[in-house]
Structure formats: C-alpha cells, structure tokens
Chain A
C-alpha cells in the first residue's frame, strides 16, 4: 500500500527528525540534511514532504514557543509517530534483507 512506502526524501526526513529529537522543525531539518547528506534541498521541499508525512500519519506536530530569531513566530516541532517508526523499520528491514542477499564479493568489487 502506497501509504506505507517511504520515498527517499521522506525516509531521510524521518530519520533526521528522530535524530534532532526535541528540536525538529522545518529549517533545522533542512540544515541537518545539508550537514549529514551534503544535499541541498529547499525549505519549500522540506515543508512539502513534512506535510505529506503528516497526512500519512507518520509524524505529529505541535507548536513550540515564540522566539526572537523567528520574528516572534512559533516553531512547529515535529515528532515521529509509532506508525512512522514502523514504516522506518520496515524500510530498513527490506534494505538489510537485500544487502544480505548480495554476495560480499560483488559489493567489495564495486
């Protein structure tokens, strides 16, 4: 079912949210992706993906306090739901499973 399959950016963002723990919001996620994956995504792309994940029920959000550096606006702090964790695990299992079926030689060669 399509809801349970994760896109590449979706998976990346879920992992980053987990890593950032209490400090996961739009711009922070973007910065973390740049740092971890050396991959430049636009803020809009992050927001789009986050909204999609929320629609799928894989993450939840709540508003944090207003801060000076945001011009008095609140942050939306994201957390991964149980369904999100499950989806991540399934994705990881599928990949691990595949990796294990590949002969060691073939991997080392490349």
Chain B
C-alpha cells in the first residue's frame, strides 16, 4: 500500500520557522508520528499532526530573525534605543524643540479639528436624520421661506402625501415665554411642545423612562441638566410640576434625557406633550419623516395639489428643507433651532487646521533633518563597520518612534488640559471625546513622524560613505527645506495681517456711531404673555393692574430718565411687504419694527420731519407710521403728507397708513449692512418688554430696584435683564470669535516658524564656525561677519513677505467687502507685521550669530 503523505502546510511552516539544525530530526519524528496514527480516521490524524506541529513553536526551536551582524532583533532594538537616548541628551536643544513642535502643533491642530468634526457631524446622531424634513412655505413669491403651520393653514393631511411616513407638529417656546413651576419656584427654560411621535423622529438618549413616554398627555420629559437646576439632588422622576405659558397645566416628570449633544442643532430643556392642551398660541412648525424614496420636487408638486383645496392663500408656495441642511444653509430661521452654522466660518477653520498641520509637519521634518545632518559622519563610520542600510534605517526609525510615543503621551495630557480653556475662550459648544481625539492625534503624529523618517532615510540612503567620512560632503541645508521655511513665514505673515485686520474691523464696528444712544439702556421682561380675555378675564384684569403699577413705579424713580416698551433695535426688525398706496406698484419687502411714543427718547433718535408717536394723539389702530430717511429715499417721497403706504402682510384687505414723521437714519442691523429702509409702526401692548434709559451713574441702583420690583410683581420668578451694550457685544460675537481664533493660531504659527528658523541658525553657525575663524584671521571684523551670517536669514523673511503681501491683501479685501462700513487696508498694517516678524525672527537667530561673530578665531579654528 502506498504510504499516505502528511499534510503539506504544517510541514512547510515547520520548514520555514524551525531552526535548520533541528529540522531534520523534527521532520523525521513528525513523519514517523504520522505513520503511527494510521489506524485513526483521517481528520483526527490531521488534527493531531497540526497540534503537534504547533507544539514546536517554542523559543528554542524558532529560527532567529535574519538581522545583519546582530544576534537578535531585540538586542538590536535595545542598542538603537540606547543610541537614540544618547543622541537626545547630546542635542538636548534640538530634540526638545522637536518634541515641543510636534506636541504643540498637533494639539493645536486637534483642537481645531475637534470643532470641525463637531460641525460636520451636526445632527448625524439621529439615525433617521436623512429622512427628516421641515415643511416650509411662502405666502407670496416675494417673501423668504418660512416654517409655519402648513398643516392647519392649508388643511393638509400628511398621511395622504406619498413617501411621508410620519408627521409631527412642534411649538417652540423660548425661555422668556414659558416657565416650569416646581414647589412655588419659577424656572425658565426652552420648551418644545411636541406630538407623541417626537422620539420616532429624534434619537435623543433617554436615561429614564421609555420612548413612548409622550403618549401620556400628563407626562413631560426633561433634560438632566435642567432637572438638576430645578430639583437639585432629588430624583426628578415622578415629580409634579406646573407648566405656565399661554396655557397652564399640571404634569408629572416621566422621562429624563441624558444630554443634548453639542452636535445637535435642536435643543430643549423640557418636552411637553402637545395633546395635553387643545390649543397652543405659538406658531408651530411641521416636521415630516419621509421614506427613502422621498424627492423634494415630487413633494412640492404633491403639496401644491393638496393645498389647492384650500383657497385662502392663492399665491402661496409650499416646500420642504432637509433637517441636516438647515444648520449650515440657515435657509429658514425659527426658534426650533438653537444654533446655526456658517459655511464660510467652517472653511476658514478648515484652512486654519490645514495650515497648522503643514507648519507642524515642515517644522518637525526640518528640525529632524538638521539634526540628522550633524550625524552624517557617525553614519559613515557605521557603514564602514558593516551596517546595512536597513540597520541605519532602523536606527532612525527607533529614534523617531520615541518621539511618537512620548509626543502622543504629552500631547494627550496637554490636550486634556487645554480643552476646557479652548472651549471657554472661544465660547464653543463642544463635547469632549477623549478616545477619538487620542486616536486622531496619534494618527496625525504618526504621519508626521513617518514623513520625517522618510526624508531622513532618503538622505541617508543617498549618502556616499567615503564622502561622509572624508568630510567632503556638503552639509548645507537642502534647498527644499529653505523653501519650506520661507513658505512657513509667508503663512505666518498672512495670518498676522489677517488677525490685525479682523481686530481693527471689530474695533471699528464696536465703536462706530450707530446714530443711537448705546449706553445706560436696559431691557427687561416684566410681564407674562397676556392672557386670552375670552378664556380668563380675571387674569387679564390683574395683569393690567400690575402693568399700571409697574409703569407708575418706574416713572417715579429718580434714576430712570425714560420708560418705554419695546425691544432694543438690534437685529430685531423683520421684513414685511409694503408699497405706496397711490401707485399700482408691486409690494416689496421692507424692514418693520414696532415702537411706542417714548421709543425715540430712549435711543435719542432725531426727527428730520414731522413728529414721532405721542401718547395723546395716537392709538394702536390708527394706522400711523414713522419711516427713516432711507425709506423716504427708497420710495422717492417728497412730501410725507401726500403719500400713504399699504401692506398685505397684516390683513387681507387693503388699509392705508399715514406717515407722520421721518427719523434720521440709524443702524438697526449688523454693520455689514448699509442702512436699509425702515418702518416704525405704533404699538402698545402691555406684555411687551420694558425699555429704560437710565441716568448716568445710576445703573446699579436701577437694576437693583428693577429686581425688587420684579419679585414684588412676580413672586417666585427669576429676574433677568439685558443692556444695549451687551447686545452689541453679542451682535459682533462672530467677528470676535474669528479674531480670537486668528490671534491664537497666528501666535502658534509664529512660534513654530521661529523654531524652524532657529534650527537653521543653529545648524549654519555650527557649519560655518571654521569659516568664520578663517575670515577673522584674514582680517574681517565683527561687523562683516555678523552681517554675513544674518543676511541669509533676513533674505528668507523678506522673500516670505513679498510672497505673502499680495495674497493677503487680496484675501482681506474680499473679507472686508462683506462689510458696508470697513476699515482701510493701510500700509502700516503690513509694515507693523513685517517689523514684528523680523524682530521675532532675528531674536531667535541673533543669540547664535552674535556669539559666533564674537568668538575668538583661536577658538573657532580649534573647533572639532
């Protein structure tokens, strides 16, 4: 009978792995063993053969790895490690700077990247996020898209629209519109009044309660943060609370949301089931959950058909926006969304991240290459002794690996330490994700270290042993590195100029005369939303009494100059459609704001023509308007008494409005806009916020008085107020953030570039030590040598400046074009930045060049 051969694979493996001197014996025994097993079933025979083969894999039997002259891989590794540490301690300065560059640069990059990632993942955590759409519409084609209650206004049944699986109606109440009362204390928070399908749409994490909790009309869901504000350490579940807004009701806390993630554009403090009351006064929004075949154009058509049955708004158009696009496009603004992103801002940040990464990469590679250059002779010697290229490559790799490991550890600590400051300083809404950040930092550092290894290895690979030993090799810094350092400086100059311009523009906007008084103006919300007279006439009467009492108190306070009711006119004007009544003109959108008779006094508005509203002459239903000069010019009005205005936004029937006065233009919007036409309409409602103009120096006293009065009128309530100066600050928050981002990172860029230049100087001075000695012996003085050494550095900074200037001039002109009122791009910004960069660059270089220029030639010639 033919002998069965043992399985090939384990034999082959043994042949590869087992030491040669043992192989014959081992294979022989295994072969014999296989024969011994011949009575067993084949599978068992094979299994046993495999098992025994694996048992040979023990340290004594495995081949040593093929490693040059050294006996073991780990021994070599240890030797390399020792060598690396020796080289660190010999070049403490450069190694220290390398490590600092790596850690600092990558941590800064990661900080920016964490923010970008948060922006990009906005609303991604909702698993059905791609299928959620906000229903929007326009009542006539001229207006912006608006999210109103399409379902009710057009009597639409979403269940009949194809590809719509579920729908939800949401009312959003801002903290000043709703309060949660627990044990007699008021707590204000943002509330969403939602259908029970809320958790079918959104994936907010519920720590307590089930996802169908909102089916029960008496249950509310609150966030953990809000719960601890309201209930302290008590268990919030099962607590009984009252909700008060235009409706009141008693509810039980039945669900707890862990946290609103920082990458959620929708936020709330508590959720109230919509079916708990028949009617909510706030205009709601409609959200739909589509299936995967949803198509916007088809939906628009279907909606057009569905709304045709209701003829109330014949000119209207309906559509939808995907949830995920709303954050960045800002296509529709409404209180459901807590925040909006900004594409340009994101692009800027991406640019900043990229620049940081590049600068770090270039700096680290430059530092390491210059360090490697000083080791050229050593490597030559190594080659002669018989080291292979592999050995040398490994040596470099080991030394870089230490940077990576130490750098990653330090980087992580630094990151954890800096993160809270970063979030605080730039006022970001950002969750920390330590494990991901660690991984991403490690990857980036790994990439940088790998790049530096490749560059060094290529350098060493090309090295000719004989030249290295004989010292014939040019130790000059490669041209590429010089170019890169110059580029780094160019970027730094660019960032610095940008920072300066942003700062100047910010200062310009904050200090510009807007035509209004800005100091000592306070706005506070004294009164709750007016109760509906039909529902609760007693409450209405009580409120009107309170209103009279409060206004009386305020008017009699000596520290208060003027009392008015309304809002601070910053970004609070809204567009509605107007036209002059006499002609057959089209309606166009014009900004409109309400005002009461004392409004002009509070802000010091100047009247150009006619009169402002007055207590005695005007009334809510008088249809009288005050316009600004821009509006007068816009309609080309010569004589205000001759022209009447009309709108189609307020009622369907045409009503003519009389213009009673013209105010001098003032800024009521962000200064990126020119002053646009504005209409002030007469309005007195008791529940509007109170506006006060305070006598100079009485601010603290008045605020204390307001607080007491507020608590007297609203026991248990929490007093809040806003000053005009705060609002202006908030208005320019985006520019402020941009300027602090630029400032932070241009300082980082400057520091990293300076480190790069420092290394060059360090290397150059060492290389030219002898040369300087010879020059001095031949009669050169300190001055000549000094300039000779410094000129090359000056040159690279100068080239960088020439490169950066036109580019940054162009970019900044583009940015400034966003603003109607802007600072000039004057030459001294550039000159200032140039001087700053030169001073910093020279101060990193000077110490070394001076000490070399001063050195006695005897010393420098004896060097080495």
Residues of A with Cβ closer than 8 Å to B? 25-27, 31, 42-45, 47-48, 51-52, 63, 69-71, 73-76
* Interchain CA distance A43-B36 in the complex, whole Å: 13
Contacting pair B22 A47 (CB below 8 A): yes
Given contacts A42-B52, A42-B55, contact A48 B60 (CB under 8 A): yes
Residues of chain A within 8 A of B24, CB atoms compared: 63, 73-74, 76
Residues of chain A within 8 A of B36, CB atoms compared: 27, 31
* Interchain CA distance A44-B35 in the complex, whole Å: 17
* Interchain CA distance A47-B19 in the complex, whole Å: 12
> Within 8 Å of chain A (Cβ to Cβ): is B26?
yes
Residues of B with Cβ closer than 8 Å to A? 22, 24-33, 35-36, 51-52, 54-58, 60-61
Q: Closest approach, in angstroms, between the C-beta of A86 and any C-beta of chain B?
A: 24
Q: Which of A48, A71, A76 contacts B58 (CB 8 A)?
A: A48
Contacting pair A25 B35 (CB below 8 A): no
Residues of chain A within 8 A of B29, CB atoms compared: 25-27, 43, 47, 70
- Nearest-neighbor residue (CB-CB) of B48 within chain A: A42
Residues of chain B within 8 A of A70, CB atoms compared: 28-29, 31-32
Residues of chain A within 8 A of B61, CB atoms compared: 44, 47-48, 51
Residues of chain B within 8 A of A69, CB atoms compared: 31-32, 35
11 A-B contact pairs sorted by A residue (CB < 8 Å): A26-B29, A27-B32, A42-B52, A43-B26, A44-B61, A51-B60, A51-B61, A70-B31, A71-B28, A73-B27, A74-B28
Contacting pair A27 B33 (CB below 8 A): yes
* Interchain CA distance A36-B168 in the complex, whole Å: 82
* Interchain CA distance A25-B22 in the complex, whole Å: 13
Contacting pair A26 B58 (CB below 8 A): no
Identify which of A48, A52, A73 gathers the most chain B CB atoms within 10 Å of its CB.
A73
Q: Which of A31, A43, A73 contacts B52 (CB 8 A)?
A: A43
Contacting pair A43 B25 (CB below 8 A): no
* Interchain CA distance A75-B29 in the complex, whole Å: 8
Residues of chain A within 8 A of B35, CB atoms compared: 69
* Interchain CA distance A25-B31 in the complex, whole Å: 13
* Interchain CA distance A75-B54 in the complex, whole Å: 21
Contacting pair B27 A75 (CB below 8 A): no
Residues of chain B within 8 A of A74, CB atoms compared: 24-25, 28
Contacting pair A45 B55 (CB below 8 A): yes
Contacting pair B25 A71 (CB below 8 A): no
Nearest 9 pairs of A and B residues by beta carbon: A44-B55, A73-B28, A42-B55, A70-B28, A44-B56, A26-B29, A27-B29, A71-B31, A76-B25
Q: Which of B26, B32, B51, B54 contacts A47 (CB 8 A)?
A: B26
Contacting pair A47 B52 (CB below 8 A): no
* Interchain CA distance A51-B24 in the complex, whole Å: 14
- Nearest-neighbor residue (CB-CB) of B54 within chain A: A44
Residues of chain B within 8 A of A48, CB atoms compared: 58, 60-61
Q: Closest approach, in angstroms, between the C-beta of B117 and any C-beta of chain A?
A: 51
Contacting pair B58 A44 (CB below 8 A): yes
* Interchain CA distance A71-B15 in the complex, whole Å: 15
Residues of chain B within 8 A of A43, CB atoms compared: 26, 29-30, 33, 52, 55-56
A-B contact count (CB 8 A): 65
Residues of chain B within 8 A of A75, CB atoms compared: 25, 28
Q: Closest approach, in angstroms, between the C-beta of A12 and any C-beta of chain B?
A: 17
Residues of chain A within 8 A of B51, CB atoms compared: 42
Residues of chain B within 8 A of A26, CB atoms compared: 25-26, 28-29
Residues of chain B within 8 A of A51, CB atoms compared: 22, 60-61
* Interchain CA distance A52-B61 in the complex, whole Å: 11
Contacting pair A71 B27 (CB below 8 A): yes
Residues of chain A within 8 A of B26, CB atoms compared: 26, 43, 47
- Nearest-neighbor residue (CB-CB) of A74 within chain B: B24
- Nearest-neighbor residue (CB-CB) of B27 within chain A: A73
Q: Closest approach, in angstroms, between the C-beta of A81 and any C-beta of chain B?
A: 19
* Interchain CA distance A69-B4 in the complex, whole Å: 11
* Interchain CA distance A52-B31 in the complex, whole Å: 23
5 other contacts beyond A44-B54, A44-B58, with CB at 8 A cut-off? A25-B29, A26-B25, A44-B52, A44-B61, A52-B60
Contacting pair A47 B27 (CB below 8 A): no
- Nearest-neighbor residue (CB-CB) of A75 within chain B: B28
* Interchain CA distance A44-B22 in the complex, whole Å: 11
Identify which of A42, A44, A48, A52 gathers the most chain B CB atoms within 10 Å of its CB.
A44
Residues of chain B within 8 A of A47, CB atoms compared: 22, 25-26, 29, 56, 61
* Interchain CA distance A52-B60 in the complex, whole Å: 8
* Interchain CA distance A76-B29 in the complex, whole Å: 10
Contacting pair B55 A25 (CB below 8 A): no
Residues of chain B within 8 A of A25, CB atoms compared: 25, 29
* Interchain CA distance A27-B61 in the complex, whole Å: 16
* Interchain CA distance A1-B637 in the complex, whole Å: 115
Q: Closest approach, in angstroms, between the C-beta of A93 and any C-beta of chain B?
A: 30
Residues of chain B within 8 A of A31, CB atoms compared: 36
Residues of chain B within 8 A of A27, CB atoms compared: 29, 32-33, 36
Q: Closest approach, in angstroms, between the C-beta of A72 and any C-beta of chain B?
A: 9
Residues of chain B within 8 A of A71, CB atoms compared: 27-28, 31
* Interchain CA distance A25-B26 in the complex, whole Å: 10
Q: Closest approach, in angstroms, between the C-beta of B835 and any C-beta of chain A?
A: 75
- Nearest-neighbor residue (CB-CB) of A71 within chain B: B31
- Nearest-neighbor residue (CB-CB) of B30 within chain A: A43
* Interchain CA distance A71-B4 in the complex, whole Å: 11
Residues of chain A within 8 A of B25, CB atoms compared: 25-26, 47, 73-76
- Nearest-neighbor residue (CB-CB) of A26 within chain B: B29
Residues of chain A within 8 A of B56, CB atoms compared: 43-44, 47
- Nearest-neighbor residue (CB-CB) of A48 within chain B: B58
* Interchain CA distance A63-B25 in the complex, whole Å: 9
Residues of chain B within 8 A of A44, CB atoms compared: 52, 54-58, 61
* Interchain CA distance A20-B660 in the complex, whole Å: 126
Residues of chain A within 8 A of B32, CB atoms compared: 27, 69-70
Q: Closest approach, in angstroms, between the C-beta of B507 and any C-beta of chain A?
A: 80
Residues of chain A within 8 A of B33, CB atoms compared: 27, 43
Q: Closest approach, in angstroms, between the C-beta of B64 and any C-beta of chain A?
A: 15
- Nearest-neighbor residue (CB-CB) of B56 within chain A: A44
Q: Closest approach, in angstroms, between the C-beta of A27 and any C-beta of chain B?
A: 4
Q: Closest approach, in angstroms, between the C-beta of A28 and any C-beta of chain B?
A: 9
* Interchain CA distance A70-B25 in the complex, whole Å: 9
* Interchain CA distance A73-B22 in the complex, whole Å: 12
Q: Closest approach, in angstroms, between the C-beta of B359 and any C-beta of chain A?
A: 56
Residues of chain A within 8 A of B30, CB atoms compared: 43
Residues of chain A within 8 A of B31, CB atoms compared: 69-71, 73
Q: Closest approach, in angstroms, between the C-beta of A54 and any C-beta of chain B?
A: 10
Residues of chain A within 8 A of B54, CB atoms compared: 44
- Nearest-neighbor residue (CB-CB) of B6 within chain A: A71
* Interchain CA distance A42-B55 in the complex, whole Å: 7
- Nearest-neighbor residue (CB-CB) of A27 within chain B: B29
Q: Closest approach, in angstroms, between the C-beta of B61 and any C-beta of chain A?
A: 7
Q: Closest approach, in angstroms, between the C-beta of A48 and any C-beta of chain B?
A: 5
* Interchain CA distance A75-B27 in the complex, whole Å: 10
* Interchain CA distance A49-B784 in the complex, whole Å: 77
Identify which of A25, A47, A75 gathers the most chain B CB atoms within 10 Å of its CB.
A47
* Interchain CA distance A88-B35 in the complex, whole Å: 33
* Interchain CA distance A48-B22 in the complex, whole Å: 11
Q: Closest approach, in angstroms, between the C-beta of A87 and any C-beta of chain B?
A: 20
- Nearest-neighbor residue (CB-CB) of B31 within chain A: A71
